[in-house]
Amino acid sequence: MNLASKTIVITGANSGIGLETARALAQSGATIVMACRDPARAETARADIAATVPGAKLEVVGLDLASLADVRRCAELLRTRFPRIDVLINNAGALPFKRQMTVDGFEMQFGVNHLAHFLLTDLLMPALLAAGQPRVINIASLLHHIGKIDFASFRGETPYGAFKAYGQSKLCNVLFTRELARRHQNDGLVTFSVHPGPVGTNIMGRGLLNRTLYRLIGAYMSPRRGAHTSVYLASADGIEATSGAYYNESAKVKAGSKLSNDDALAKRLWAESERLTAAIG
């Protein structure tokens, strides 16, 4: 597609896959909105992209996904500044070794990786639908295959395991995509979930030990390579019929896990996500 007149919002665009996705899409002439938690790192990332992509159209907005109040604030700002949003890439994520909680009392991975992006997408829906043929891309993971949805764990009630929680949050991403596609099958919105590949990023934290451990468990791909499928799904023509699909790092549709194809589970997760976000203004 011709992206020159498009507006693309990317969460977590200051590092890793998000940064390289922003850099690649900036080359198309689109306006790239970098929604990031750390303003200083976001400005550094914007300067980095601007230095490598002459004429890049870049905007930075603050977004703390660990606070639903801040998600609401950011969404209101985005709707005001950008009445039409063509592509939303829910890219940011967290994978803490030890249990952490969001400001609102949710287990961090569920809260950041799924619930905040669920709310952000919902609040931006008027601007997305104003685009006519919007796209929502959710960064999931192959590790959704180990995920199970424990509805009693969302507020940290059950024993914490980092990869158990990660698998659950990534399964949430795939199920959310599936249900989002079903709900918008007649209004032009298309949506995809993505396994970007085993990419070496700062998702476990910026400390040397955490980054080293992440690479030792197999995260060997570069962020630039990991951005490949996100960029493809944001820009490719003729993929609308695959809305709701799970894509791998080679931009191919994959079946996903058995649970990720459970429509009843997707509907239940959606209803619970609506209930949880509505309860916190």
Q: What is the pLDDT of residue 206?
A: 47
Length of the chain: 281
Q: What is the pLDDT of residue 270?
A: 98
Q: What is the pLDDT of residue 280?
A: 87
Distance between CA 37 and CA 20 in Å, rounded? 17
> What is the CATH architecture of 7-276?
3-Layer(aba) Sandwich (3.40)
pLDDT in tens, the chain (281 residues): 789 999 999 999 999 999 999 999 999 999 999 999 999 999 999 999 999 999 999 999 999 999 999 999 999 999 999 999 999 999 999 999 999 999 999 999 999 999 999 999 999 999 999 999 999 999 999 999 999 999 999 999 999 999 999 999 999 999 999 999 999 999 999 999 999 998 755 554 445 444 444 444 445 588 999 999 999 999 999 999 999 999 999 999 999 999 999 999 999 999 999 999 998 87
Distance between CA 158 and CA 269 in Å, rounded? 18
The DSSP secondary structure of 121-190, one letter per residue, reads: HHHTHHHHHTTSS-EEEEE--GGGGG----TT-TTS-SPP-HHHHHHHHHHHHHHHHHHHHHHTTTSS-E
The model's pTM is 0.93
Six-digit token string for 154:
């969302």
Q: What is the pLDDT of residue 207?
A: 52
Distance between CA 188 and CA 20 in Å, rounded? 27
Provide the strand spans (E) within the chain. Answer: 7-11, 31-36, 57-62, 87-90, 135-139, 190-194, 246-247, 253-254
What is the set of active-site residues? 166
Q: Is residue 171 a contact partner of residue 197, using CB atoms and an 8 Å limit? A: no
Q: What is the pLDDT of residue 216?
A: 43
Q: Is residue 58 a contact partner of residue 50, using CB atoms and an 8 Å limit? A: yes
Q: What is the pLDDT of residue 202?
A: 55
Strands 87-90 and 57-62, sheet pairing: unpaired
Domain positions in the chain are 7-276
Q: What is the pLDDT of residue 198?
A: 84
Q: Is residue 181 a contact partner of residue 158, using CB atoms and an 8 Å limit? A: no
User: Amino acid identity of 54?
Assistant: P
Strands 31-36 and 253-254, sheet pairing: unpaired
